[in-house]
Chain A
Amino acid sequence: MSSNTKQLYTVSIYTENNIGLLNRISAIFQRRHINIESLNTSPSEIEGVSKFTVVVDVTEVDIQKIIGQIEKQVEVIKAYYHNLEDIIYQISGLFKIKSELLFEERQIQNIIKESNARIVTVNKDFFVLEKSGKKEEIMELYNKLSVFGIMQYTRSGLIAVTKEEMRISTLLQNYNH
């Protein structure tokens, strides 16, 4: 793919755990009028180090410049970008649906089985389905269920690990010595 075509990139940002850093990082995208497709923050594999996972639809030229701007922030340890082929990723979707449908619409049970979705909870008013996978899989389930009516739906940000080694630990060891 040419470096001037837009595609989805995940940006993995290892940071010191600091108030205000989210603001600093999101400002870098905002300034360039880039829409953040999804954003997740979590602890990383290293104690005391946080990880932001940001998904954006940009060109490779742009993502390289953005990585430079992100790494320039004092409390950012390291930032990496990957396209979707280079990572193993998951997105999670939650669907809240009326319980009566589970019994009245036999097809729903088939949809749940076929989609490998998991029933998180059931009570007399509603049940909650959880589906993890790629965005397309969650969208497919959404489309199938929406025919029957969905009370609430939400999708998480993308989280990912890379196929290649992420050299962050070695990097940190060097910093600490």
Chain B
Amino acid sequence: METKTIANSNTIQKATERISGSEAIVRCLIEEGVKIIYGYPGGAIMPVYDELYKYQDKIHHVLTRHEQGATHAAQGFARISGDVGVAIATSGPGATNLITGIADAQIDSTPMVCITGQVPSHLLGSDAFQETDIVGISTPVTKWNCQVTNAADIPGAIAKAFFIAKSGRPGPVLVDITKDAQFEEFDFVYDRCEKIRSYNPIPKTEAGTLEQAAQLINNAKKPFIVWGQGVILSEAEEVFKALVEKAGIPAAWTILGASAIPTSHHLNVGMLGMHGNYAPNKLTNECDVLIAIGMRFDDRVTGDLSKYAKQAKVIHFEIDPAEINKNVKADVAVLGDAKSTLKAILPLINPNSHVEWHQQFKDLYEIEYHKVIKNDIHPTKEGLTMGEVIHEINLQSKGEAAIVTDVGQHQMIACRYADFNITKSNITSGGLGTMGFGLPAAIGAKMAAPEREVVSISGDGGYQMTIQELGTIFQQKAAVKVVVLNNEFLGMVRQWQQLFFDKRYASTEMINPDFIKIAEGYYLKARKVVKRADLKDAVKEMMESKAPYFLEVCVEKEGNVFPMVPSGASIADIRLE
């Protein structure tokens, strides 16, 4: 690694110890406070596994059944704890199998450190066995990456990796370490990285912007807050809630922002975006001041940008300067970490309550309730709905479970109807939309927060993309509650085919295996529900189980998720049916 980046300004001589590069890798992880890592061994990373064997009382290595599972587990770990998740793999296919999880972590700003083994440095570029240019491949989807070919560079690279992954807007990093560097001995000393000259993780809040923002908020007649994961990542939940309450402003969330304030909070007006709630979508185009906090105006949230909140002044609280004016032009950009900028603005905000404006949200909710919600969670038709399953889980978990979802209809339904009373409770693949994310992410979440109830909710499609992680659940005895909402379709794609492709159901019907037998094959307790009458009891049995539990619920085959903003349409054109 030929970085001249950080001059090691720390000149105080620390005692060194002569150890191998591979032992140094494990020692670096211990120094960073890592206790659990997820991975899969192989040739180029074997020296590290040999050290993990020796240090198993300090670091618990979780053998996933696929490297992709290791990354999603590390993501789940990071999302529920706020700490850096760690995944480790060998060179070649081991490394390339990490890519989906890395890309997912990049777009969802999840702190993750990936360590890959690499062929010995003298073989680099020779098309050696299991050689792949993982630094080249991972470049567009990592916050930072590097290759290390000398043992002496390992501590510096790993220290940098953890600092970059966690600071500012978090993200995934990858450190690729050649096998000879793992074998080589050197004088080990570890200094945590606290600063990199070229890297400014938290931009300075520009003078006057807080005051301008406060003035706009104080003078607004119809202010509206849209918040994202930034609130959770900066652990700003408390001051955020204080701001919402003091200013009396209705607030809606992106799916990654969900749970920052409880679902039941009176000013929480619901979910934004394509399958979000009716009121916040409609009224985005009626507010006079739009206050965006830690969110990036993803196209699934905004719909057609040329018709998005054009009437409103926009205030954007954001840690990443590249997000300002990227999709929506900000009249006032408040740069910085949400926790500190919200703290700073709170005293400048006049207490207020926008009763009539808030009432508009309630009125539209009533319309949505009667047209959609009622039928989803209290259905009278014969087939079971996804919504009633989520509703039953709410009742029995008292809204305190962490809900880990996969991608598709069940995800939208879970985000819409789950009660989130505790922050960091909605763990889902938002930006990348990675089917197969849910099950392994739930394992990571449960291991990071064993005291919490973790419910993995998947569809029958995505579940089968990483179904082999049932083996990890069994081996780790991770008491994840695994729910599959089975409609025997790739439901979201089928819904689009129904609505926009004249019901031509191309390759969306699933002929499924016996999921119960598969779960039982992995020694999991398993139960299948096909009738409404059995749902309550089955969910109860699942929630009361101390061990991992698999619940399959056969839901109606052609249920649709509404409301819906058709792709490319304005959010104001949100459809209720």
Which residues from chain A sit less than 8 Å from chain B, CB to CB? 15-20, 23-24, 27, 31, 48, 64-65, 68-69, 71-72, 74-77, 172, 175-176
Are A75 and B3 within 8 A (Cβ)?
Answer: yes
Are A175 and B197 within 8 A (Cβ)?
Answer: yes
Candidate in A15, A65, A69 with the most chain B CB atoms within 10 angstroms: A65
Are B199 and A71 within 8 A (Cβ)?
Answer: no
The residues of A that contact B144 with a CB separation of less than 8 Å are: 74-75
Are A18 and B3 within 8 A (Cβ)?
Answer: yes
> Nearest chain A CB to B543's CB is how many angstroms away?
43
Q: Which of B165-200 contact A (CB under 8 A)?
A: 196-199
Which residues from chain B sit less than 8 Å from chain A, CB to CB? 1-5, 135-136, 139-140, 143-147, 164, 196-199, 320-326
Please report the C-alpha to C-alpha distance between residue A71 and residue B143 in the assembled complex, in whole angstroms. 12
Candidate in A23, A31, A71, A72 with the most chain B CB atoms within 10 angstroms: A72
CB within 8 A of B4: which of A16, A20, A27, A76? A16
Selected A-B contacts with CB under 8 Å, 12 pairs? A16-B4, A17-B4, A19-B1, A20-B135, A20-B136, A20-B139, A23-B139, A48-B4, A65-B326, A68-B324, A74-B143, A74-B144
Nearest 9 CB-CB pairings of A with B: A68-B322, A77-B198, A74-B144, A74-B199, A72-B322, A16-B5, A27-B140, A175-B197, A48-B4
> Nearest chain A CB to B289's CB is how many angstroms away?
24
Known: A23-B139, A74-B143, A74-B199. A18 touches B325 (CB 8 A): no
Chain A facing B: main interface SS: helix
CB within 8 A of A27: which of B2, B5, B139, B326? B139
> Nearest chain B CB to A29's CB is how many angstroms away?
12
Are B322 and A65 within 8 A (Cβ)?
Answer: yes
Are A19 and B322 within 8 A (Cβ)?
Answer: no
Are B322 and A69 within 8 A (Cβ)?
Answer: yes
Beyond A18-B146, A65-B325, 10 extra complex contacts between A and B, CB < 8 Å? A15-B198, A16-B4, A20-B139, A20-B146, A24-B139, A27-B139, A27-B140, A72-B320, A72-B321, A176-B197
The residues of B that contact A19 with a CB separation of less than 8 Å are: 1-2, 146-147
CB within 8 A of A74: which of B2, B136, B164, B326? B164
Are A18 and B5 within 8 A (Cβ)?
Answer: yes
Please report the C-alpha to C-alpha distance between residue A17 and residue B197 in the assembled complex, in whole angstroms. 12
Are B136 and A18 within 8 A (Cβ)?
Answer: no
CB nearest to B6 among chain A residues? A16
> Nearest chain B CB to A105's CB is how many angstroms away?
47
The residues of B that contact A172 with a CB separation of less than 8 Å are: 197
> Nearest chain B CB to A66's CB is how many angstroms away?
9
> Nearest chain A CB to B527's CB is how many angstroms away?
46
> Nearest chain A CB to B538's CB is how many angstroms away?
47
Known: A16-B4, A65-B325, A68-B322. A76 touches B198 (CB 8 A): yes
Please report the C-alpha to C-alpha distance between residue A69 and residue B4 in the assembled complex, in whole angstroms. 22
Known: A16-B197, A18-B5, A76-B198. A71 touches B322 (CB 8 A): yes
The residues of A that contact B323 with a CB separation of less than 8 Å are: 68
The residues of A that contact B5 with a CB separation of less than 8 Å are: 16, 18, 75
The residues of B that contact A24 with a CB separation of less than 8 Å are: 139-140
Known: A23-B136, A64-B325, A68-B321. A18 touches B2 (CB 8 A): yes
> Nearest chain A CB to B121's CB is how many angstroms away?
13
The residues of A that contact B322 with a CB separation of less than 8 Å are: 65, 68-69, 71-72
The residues of A that contact B324 with a CB separation of less than 8 Å are: 68
CB nearest to A77 among chain B residues? B198
The residues of A that contact B139 with a CB separation of less than 8 Å are: 20, 23-24, 27
CB nearest to A70 among chain B residues? B322
> Nearest chain B CB to A121's CB is how many angstroms away?
35
> Nearest chain A CB to B261's CB is how many angstroms away?
29
Are A75 and B198 within 8 A (Cβ)?
Answer: yes
CB nearest to B196 among chain A residues? A74
> Nearest chain B CB to A44's CB is how many angstroms away?
13
The residues of A that contact B196 with a CB separation of less than 8 Å are: 74
The residues of A that contact B146 with a CB separation of less than 8 Å are: 18-20
Please report the C-alpha to C-alpha distance between residue A6 and residue B144 in the assembled complex, in whole angstroms. 31
Please report the C-alpha to C-alpha distance between residue A17 and residue B323 in the assembled complex, in whole angstroms. 26
CB within 8 A of B321: which of A20, A71, A77? A71
Please report the C-alpha to C-alpha distance between residue A176 and residue B321 in the assembled complex, in whole angstroms. 22
CB within 8 A of A77: which of B135, B140, B197? B197
Please report the C-alpha to C-alpha distance between residue A109 and residue B136 in the assembled complex, in whole angstroms. 49
> Nearest chain B CB to A175's CB is how many angstroms away?
5
Are A16 and B198 within 8 A (Cβ)?
Answer: yes
The residues of B that contact A17 with a CB separation of less than 8 Å are: 2-4
